[in-house]
Each structure stands twice: as structure tokens, then as C-alpha cells.
Amino acid sequence: MASNINSPEPEEPSDDIIQSASSITGIKLILYGLLIVLIASALYGIGDRFNLWSRLTGFVQPKDSITLIQSYTDGIDPIRLMIVSRNGRSEVRALNVDIESEEYVADPKVDSFSPVYSPATQQFAFLSKDDAGHLALQVGKLGQVATDIVSTKILSDAKLSGFEICSYAQPVWSIDGTQVAIFICNMQTNTSTLLISDGIGGIVTFSNSNDTIDRERSIVWIDTESILFTKSVNGQDAVYRMNISDSDSESTRILGP
């Protein structure tokens, strides 16, 4: 005689188990989301640090600010020299107006600014700042690696130890594009002086008349052998002239107190 054996009904999971499983799933989703955010942030940071977006697309990101500095012609195409600011950093680039493409003039991994162009030699001069905050004056051409022509090391080797490029300094090319003038400062003695570089890393001369570093100074080349610059005399600006060809680099006051 067959007997009826009733199989036990499967137990429904309790509410506690369901809630626990849901909580675990929710936590996993949150962790996965955080992981995705971290990976995306890391990739964005790497891309931003090395300008991968600009390198891959050839375009400036919309968040960049652009300052147009100077127009010139490289003999064939019209070029616009510009500074692109990205996340607190600045980069010197050249924009080819005709083909609407840009090219790095300076190393994009360091801050670069204050570019000036010499039509006579088709060279750029600009300032760069390293991670330690030291300024260097660099010179280069399109398609070439720029090199330092004034830096703390070059100044030290030229027996100008303690001097560095002034924070307000702006490089100024000579008329023939063979020399660059710039102000250097000594923070220990609180003085500044005018320096002339030969454009390839040598020091041509510097002013024998030091000045305080309390304000920005200006420079104007008269010709290839003489230059005008301002300095402070008893708290007032005066204009001095320096003859580059003089061995003693004598500077003479021509205007002011």
C-alpha cells in the first residue's frame, strides 16, 4: 500500500535575510561606483598633467583661457604667439592662423610665460618656472627644444651667485635678435641689475649700477650697442643708458632726479 509522503514546503527567506542581501548589494554598488570615480579621476589627472587631450585632439580644451601675445610671420604662414592657462599653469604655444593648428613652443610639463619673438632670428624668448619656483630664460624656435640662456646655475657660473631672474622680469630682444635683456634680482641684498645675454647661454654684460627691487623696471633697446632702462633714485624713477660695447658696462643717468 502506497503511502502519501508530503515533501516539506520550501521555506521563504526571512525579511532579515532579504534586507541583508539588499544591503550587501547596495554596498557593492556604492563601492563599484567609488572605484569608477577614482579611476576616472586618476585618468583625468594623468591626461590633464601631460596634456593628453590637447595632444590627441589638437584642440585647446574649452576650460582653458587664452591670451594672444604677438603676431608674426615665419616666412610662409601667419603665426600668433599665445599663452594658454590650464588649471593654474600656463603654456607658451604658437597658433598657425591659416591651418588653425597649435604647436607647443615650451615644454608643456612646466609653467612658461612672457613670450617675445625676434623677427630677425625667428626665435622665441620666454620665461619658465621649475617645481622649486626658480625662473629661467629660455630661447628656441618652432620645432626645436628650447634651451636655458639665463638660470640660477648660469648666473652662479658667471660669478653672479645669489642672483636670479626677477619675478617681474620681461625679456626684451635686441633689434638684431642676437641679445636679450632682462632684470635679475638678489633677494639677499634686495637689489636688482640689468643683464644682457648673448642668446645662447653666455653673459654679455650687466649693469654696474644696482637698484632696489621694490618695483617693476622697463627696458628699451636704442640700437645693437646701447640700451635704456629705468631704475629708482631716491624713491623716484630715472632713465639710464648703458653702452653694451663698453668693457666696464658704465650706465649713465639721462633723465630723472
As a whole number of angstroms, the distance between CA 115 and CA 172 comes to 10
| Res. 50 pLDDT band, cuts 50 70 90 | very low
Q: Which structural domain range is residue 29 located in?
A: 22-57
**Assigned domain for 245 exists:** yes
Q: Are 227 and 242 in contact (CB under 8 A)?
A: yes
Give buried/exposed letters for 76-104 (b at 16+ CB in 10 A, else e): eeebbbbbbebeebbbbbbbbeeeeebeb
| Res. 43 pLDDT band, cuts 50 70 90 | low
Statement to judge: residues 126 and 97 lie in one domain = yes
As a whole number of angstroms, the distance between CA 133 and CA 228 comes to 29
Statement to judge: residues 33 and 132 lie in one domain = no
- The answer to whether residue 47 scores a pLDDT higher than 70 is no
Q: What is the mean pLDDT of residues 105-130?
A: 89
Q: Which range is least confidently modeled, 26-40, 100-114, 197-211?
A: 26-40
Helix intervals (H) in 4-51: 15-49
Give tens-digit pLDDT for 52-110.
Answer: 544 444 445 445 788 888 888 877 778 888 888 866 778 888 888 887 888 888 888 88
Statement to judge: residues 68 and 52 lie in one domain = no
Closest CA to 81 of 147, 90, 89: 90
**pTM for this entry:** 0.70
Q: Which residues contact 60 (CB under 8 A, 6 or more apart)?
A: 54, 66, 84, 102
- The answer to whether residue 12 scores a pLDDT higher than 60 is no
Q: Which residues contact 99 (CB under 8 A, 6 or more apart)?
A: 77
- The answer to whether residue 5 scores a pLDDT higher than 60 is no
Looking at residue 27, its pLDDT comes to 77
Three-state DSSP state, 18: helix
Q: How many domains are contained in the chain?
A: 2
Statement to judge: residues 239 and 171 lie in one domain = yes
Statement to judge: residues 50 and 129 lie in one domain = no
Statement to judge: residues 96 and 195 lie in one domain = yes
Statement to judge: residues 246 and 217 lie in one domain = yes
Looking at residue 136, its pLDDT comes to 96
Give tens-digit pLDDT for 131-190.
Answer: 888 999 999 888 888 999 999 999 999 888 899 999 989 999 999 999 999 999 998 888
Statement to judge: residues 148 and 229 lie in one domain = yes
As a whole number of angstroms, the distance between CA 88 and CA 105 comes to 18
